[in-house]
Amino acid sequence: MADVRKIVLDIISDIAPDEDITELDDQKSLREQLDLDSMDFLDIVMELRKRHKVEVPQEDYPRLATLASCVTYLSPKFTVA
C-alpha cells in the first residue's frame, strides 16, 4: 500500500524547498503551519497527477487541508491505481 503521507510530504518539499516539514502536526491545517497559498495547493494537485496519475477535481481541493485529510482522501485513489 502506498505511503500517501510520504508522497504528499515529498511533493511539498519539492514545491516549497525552504519549508521545514519535519515537525508537522497531521491534524492541523497545512496552510497554518507552512507558507502555502492556493498556487502551492494547485502544484500539489498537479504533481499528484504528474507523478502518480491521481486526479483531484477542483471541488475536492479543500480535502487536502491537513496531512490526515490528505491520507483519508487520497488513499483510496492510490489503492485503485
Partner 1 sequence: MNYDAIVIGAGMSGLAAGIRLAMFDKKVVIIEKHSIPGGLNSYYQRKNTDKGGIRQFDVGLHALTNFIKKGEKGKPFSKLLKQLRLSYDDFKLCPQTHSKIVFPNHELKFSNDFELLQTEVQEKFPAEIDNFSKLVEVVRAFNELDLTIGYSSSRETLKNYIKDDLLLEMILCPLLIYGSAWEDDMDFAQFVIMFKSLYFEGFSRPEGGVRTILSLLMKRLEDCGGEIRFKTAVSEILTDGEGKAIGVKVLNEEILAPIVLSSIGYPETVKLTSKLEVRPRVGAMTFLESIFVFDKKIPLNVNDSTIVFYNNAPTYSYRPAKDYFDKTSAVVCFPDNYESNRLEGEGTVRITFMANYEQWASLPKSDYMERKEQVSESAMELVKKLNPQFDGKLLFKDIFSPTTIERYTWHLNGTVYGSIDKTRDGRTPVKNLYIIGTDQGFLGIIGSMLSGISMANLHGLMSAE
Q: Report the catalytic residues.
A: 37
Question: What 3-state DSSP class applies to 36?
Answer: coil
Q: C-alpha 26: how far from its chain's center?
A: 11
Q: Is 15 in the site for partner 1 (CB under 8 A)?
A: yes
From candidates 3, 28, 46, 79, binder to partner 1 by CB under 8 A: 46
Ramachandran class of 2: left when φ > 0, alpha when ψ lies in -120 to 50, beta otherwise? beta
Q: Which stretch binds partner 1 (CB under 8 A): 2-10, 13-21, 23-31, 71-79?
A: 13-21
Cα(37)–Cα(70) distance, integer angstroms: 16
Q: Applying CB under 8 A, which residues contact partner 1?
A: 14-16, 18, 35, 37, 39-40, 42-43, 46, 49-50, 55, 57-58
